[in-house]
Amino acid sequence: MAIGFGIIGAGMISRFHAKAILDVKGAKLVACADRTPGKAEALAKEFGCTAHDSVEAMVADPNVDAVTIATPSGAHMEPAVIAAKAGKHVIVEKPLEITLKRCDKIIDACEKAGVKLAAIFPSRFHDSSRLLKGAVDAERFGRITLGDAYVKWFRTQQYYDSGAWRGTWALDGGGALMNQAVHTVDLLSWLMGPVEEVQAFTATLAHDRIEVEDVATATLRFASGALGVIEATTAAFPGYLKRIELHGSEGSAVLEEEDIKAWDFAKKLRSDAAVHRQMASRKSTGGGAADPSAIGHHGHKLQIQDFVEAIRKDRAPAVDGPEGRKSIEIILAIYQSAKTGKRVTLPLKNDPKMSDK
pLDDT of amino acid 284? 57
Tens digit of pLDDT for each residue in 284-313? Answer: 555 677 766 556 788 999 999 999 999 999
- The pLDDT, as a whole number, for residue 286 is 57
Alpha-carbon span 59 to 44, nearest angstrom: 16
DSSP structure class, residue 93? P
Angstrom distance (rounded) from CA 101 to CA 146: 31
Q: Domains of the chain, with CATH numbers?
A: 3-115 (3.40.50.720), 124-290+327-344 (3.30.360.10)
Segment 108-129 mean pLDDT = 97
- Percentage, residues of the chain above pLDDT 90: 90
What three-state secondary structure class fits 12? helix
Asked if residue 50 lies in contact with residue 106, where contact means CB atoms within 8 angstroms, the answer is no
Q: What is the arithmetic mean of pLDDT over 64-91?
A: 98
**Residue 334: how many CB atoms within 10 A of its CB?**
31
| Cβ atoms of 85 and 58 closer than 8 Å | no
- For residue 23, count other CB atoms closer than 10 A to its CB: 15
Q: What is the pLDDT of residues 324-357, one digit of tens each?
A: 999 999 999 999 999 999 999 999 988 887 654 4
Rounded Cα–Cα distance for residues 17 and 273 (Å):
36
Q: Span 212-224, mean pLDDT?
A: 98
pLDDT digits (tens, 9 = 90+) for 174-217: 999 999 999 999 999 999 999 999 999 999 999 999 999 999 99
Q: Rounded distance, CA 292 to CA 304, Å?
A: 20
**168 contact partners, CB below 8 Å, separation of at least 6:** 74, 210, 211, 212
Cβ(318)–Cβ(125) below 8 Å: yes
pLDDT of residue 139: 98
- The mean-pLDDT minimum among 16-30, 62-76, 266-280 falls in 266-280
Average pLDDT value for residue range 37-47: 96
Alpha helices (runs of H) in 73-178, residue ranges in sequence order: 77-85, 100-113, 127-137, 157-161
- Is the four-CA dihedral 239, 242, 247, 250 of positive or negative sign? negative
Phi and psi at residue 258, to the nearest 5°: -105, 5
| pLDDT score recorded for residue 357 | 44
